[in-house]
Amino acid sequence: MSDVAYPLRFDGSGRTATADRDRHIRDMIEQVLFTAPGERVNRPMLGCGLLQLVFEPNSDELAATTQYLVQSALQQWLGDVIEVRSVTVGATDSRLDVNVVYVVVGTEEEASAQFTAPGVGR
């Protein structure tokens, strides 16, 4: 079984593109990370607003705060799909690197996903 790919697009045959389960879970994590609270009409609390941090000065404090925000948002919105094992956030030059280690509920498969918020502290 496959799910709708994110971002929504069409495949080569003109149909809605699909993604396998692992890719779909990664896509859902990406949506939670890069969606700002208030951005979704029917789910105004969805997201952790990682991109809003573009205008904040890059520091270890920002990384620690981001780690807390990411972990709590993932637990709230994807707690029935994944179990978050760890979230590490690194402040490097002008970007935040976020690494999420999680276990897929039901299969107990451990996986990780890495994301970068570019332009932090410009």
pLDDT tens, per residue, the chain with 122 residues: 577 777 778 888 888 888 888 888 998 899 899 888 888 888 888 888 787 776 677 777 777 888 888 999 999 999 999 999 999 988 777 677 889 999 999 899 999 999 987 654 44
Hey, is 2 helix, strand or coil?
coil
Closest CA to 106 of 8, 5, 17, 25: 25
Is CATH 3.10.450.40 correct for 3-118?
Answer: yes
Radius of gyration for the alpha carbons in the chain, expressed in angstroms and rounded: 15
d(CA 94, CA 90): 11
Domain limits, the chain: 3-118
- pLDDT in the model for residue 120: 46
pTM of the complete model beyond 0.85: no
